[in-house]
């Protein structure tokens, strides 16, 4: 009997010792994957004809959120994602244009912390690959904001094949950790970001530490560059035209439960001609361009599959949560806008499938990407701020869950810290840190009731919006007139109810004014005046 008791006691002591030595390895690995300029309907699981089997498998085996929001533009979304506060509070209220105002410094404020900085302090290895676009000053590089390892593009856009500036006198920088990097022969950005992510994860195997990976693809942001074997799968598939494709996507989205059966498809954007009005040559050029765009999304999905395969090979797939989203809606931008070099303008005349081309998706392609919504990147209508969101975490997130509650990119900081059991700091490196604005998605991930947000706020370049439950007000700069929509059955924002419910407009506009003061938002007119005065200074 005594021998048995001693054996049991020894077993308890050994078990306790083992548990005390491995607490960090029990914490989940956290991966956030961000696409660039990808629209709401560009994944198969959200209605697209593009082949995205890996992301679709994650959606089927995890959680799909249909009312998830970004901030409608690349820099602000990245700032909010990493810090858990609104872009103005993070110092990136506009882009990386540097201004003498705390909300528009064009770089992350010292009064906020990144997910990487907090998790690094809590025993995590922290990695980033891909697009930074939060200022390319050396003191602002990712390795200075909490990332142990980094590989990627510090700027907003670049050739996927080579380092080539698209504006006069502009330097575009790829970096590996804290040194500049020159892409070599055979370089393709989407593949390179994944390869380095896998390398960093493999290097971490020798450490008894969980990891945080922020994988920020540049795909499918312009320039439209894809590999020949990927393009070949889509050539000819877009000759049916964007009008028919929008209708087909819309029907699939309803069948998938992404949008309501009562929802309406928004009319073709006024900037987009009817497909049948195009010449045969124009149709062939657009088929080529849309095939390249699809190939970029396809290649990104292939790389996500490659990353998942590596996690499975390492035995880390069951203890890793992957969250996927896009930084804004489909982009209307084109290469004929001011600021591009003559070399780039000439490259824009080539077919997108030519690797020496430099083209964009423009209004025509973006209108398809954002099915069924109105507007695009930069606006605060649903087409600008809506992103597909997928969370995959085996054993925690129940397979096949679809949630329609509004959520926002500010929630990812709160969620990550909740998953890691990490505390958000009140101070960091001697600076007082602004409180988080987001709400943890962990209850929702676990299938529990989630309180969500009372309101979510938006502002970019004078375009504004407030979402409260099913109600939303939105305005366009410079008119600044509030329109009111009930998103229950009108997420396409086709029926303005402002004249029928003036009291609701007043209520929500007052909430916006209070938030704008809280977040230190500068009216865009004043921001433009600041820029004008800066240019006039000797």
6, with CB counted inside 10 A (0-12, 13-18, 19+), is exposed
Residue corresponding to tokens 């629209």:
39
Indicate left, alpha or beta for 284 from its phi (over 0: left) and psi (-120 to 50: alpha): alpha
Contact 241, 283 (CB under 8 A): yes
> How far, in Å, CA of 504 to CA of 334, rounded?
37
Residue corresponding to tokens 């009216």:
523
> How far, in Å, CA of 40 to CA of 346, rounded?
31
- Quickly count: other Cβ atoms within 10 Å of residue 354's Cβ: 14
> How far, in Å, CA of 187 to CA of 382, rounded?
35
Q: Which residues are identified as catalytic?
A: 74, 133
Classify each residue of 125-162 as buried b or exposed e, where b means 16 or more C-beta atoms within 10 Å of its C-beta.
bbbbbbbbbbbbeeebbbbebbbbbbbbbbbbbbbbbe
- Most distant CA pair in the chain, distance: 93
80, with CB counted inside 10 A (0-12, 13-18, 19+), is buried
376, with CB counted inside 10 A (0-12, 13-18, 19+), is buried
> How far, in Å, CA of 152 to CA of 145, rounded?
15
Question: What is the sign, positive or negative, of the torsion defined by CA atoms of 50, 54, 60, 66?
Answer: negative
> How far, in Å, CA of 182 to CA of 173, rounded?
8
Angle CA 401–407–412, to nearest 5: 95
> How far, in Å, CA of 128 to CA of 86, rounded?
21
> How far, in Å, CA of 243 to CA of 377, rounded?
20
Cis peptide leading into residue 372 (ω within 30°):
yes
- Quickly count: other Cβ atoms within 10 Å of residue 194's Cβ: 24
> How far, in Å, CA of 115 to CA of 120, rounded?
8
């Amino acid at each position: 009997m005594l021998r048995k008791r001693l054996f049991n006691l020894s077993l308890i002591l050994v078990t306790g010792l083992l548990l005390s030595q491995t607490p960090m390895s029990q914490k989940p690995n956290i991966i956030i994957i961000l696409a660039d300029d990808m629209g709401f309907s560009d994944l198969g699981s959200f209605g697209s004809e593009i082949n995205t089997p890996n992301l679709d498998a994650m959606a089927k085996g995890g959680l799909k959120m249909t009312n998830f929001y970004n901030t409608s533009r690349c820099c602000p979304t990245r700032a909010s994602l990493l810090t858990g506060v609104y872009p103005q509070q993070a110092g990136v209220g506009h882009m990386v244009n540097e201004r003498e105002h705390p909300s528009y410094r064009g770089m992350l404020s010292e009064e906020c912390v990144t997910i990487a900085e907090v998790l690094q302090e809590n025993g995590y290895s922290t990695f980033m690959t891909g697009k930074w676009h939060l200022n390319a000053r050396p003191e602002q590089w990712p390795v200075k904001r909490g990332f142990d390892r980094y590989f990627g593009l510090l700027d907003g856009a670049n050739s996927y094949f080579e380092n080539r500036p698209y504006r006069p006198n502009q330097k575009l920088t790829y970096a590996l950790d804290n040194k500049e990097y020159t892409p070599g022969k055979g370089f393709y950005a989407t593949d390179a970001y994944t390869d380095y992510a896998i390398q960093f994860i493999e290097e971490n195997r020798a450490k008894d530490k969980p990891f945080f990976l922020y994988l920020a693809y540049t795909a499918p942001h312009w320039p439209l560059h894809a590999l020949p074997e990927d393009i070949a799968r889509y050539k000819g598939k877009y000759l049916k035209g964007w009008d028919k494709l929008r209708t087909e996507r819309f029907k699939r989205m309803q069948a998938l439960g992404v949008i309501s059966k009562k929802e309406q498809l928004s009319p073709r954007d006024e900037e987009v001609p009817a497909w049948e009005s195009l010449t045969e040559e124009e149709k062939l050029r657009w088929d080529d361009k849309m095939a390249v765009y699809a190939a970029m999304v396809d290649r990104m999905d292939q790389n996500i599959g490659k990353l998942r395969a590596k996690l499975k090979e390492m035995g880390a797939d069951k203890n890793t949560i992957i969250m996927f989203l896009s930084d804004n809606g489909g982009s209307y931008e084109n290469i004929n806008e001011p600021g591009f070099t003559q070399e780039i303008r000439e490259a824009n005349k080539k077919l997108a499938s030519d690797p020496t081309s430099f083209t964009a998706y423009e209004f025509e392609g973006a209108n398809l990407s954002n099915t069924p919504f109105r507007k695009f990147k930069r606006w605060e209508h649903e087409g600008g701020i809506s992103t597909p969101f997928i969370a995959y975490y085996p054993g925690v997130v129940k397979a096949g869950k679809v949630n329609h509650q509004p959520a926002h990119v500010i929630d990812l900081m709160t969620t990550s810290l909740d998953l890691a059991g990490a505390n958000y700091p009140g101070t960091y490196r001697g600076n007082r840190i602004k409180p988080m604005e987001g709400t943890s998605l962990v209850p929702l991930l676990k299938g529990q009731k989630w309180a969500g947000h009372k309101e979510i706020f938006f502002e970019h370049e004078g375009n504004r919006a407030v979402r409260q439950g099913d109600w939303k007000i939105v305005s366009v700069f410079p008119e600044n007139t509030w329109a009111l929509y009930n998103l229950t059955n009108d997420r396409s924002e086709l029926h303005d109810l402002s004249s029928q419910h003036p009291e609701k407009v007043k209520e929500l506009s007052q909430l916006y004014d209070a938030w704008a003061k809280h977040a230190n938002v500068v009216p865009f007119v004043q921001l433009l005046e600041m820029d004008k005065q800066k240019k006039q200074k000797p």
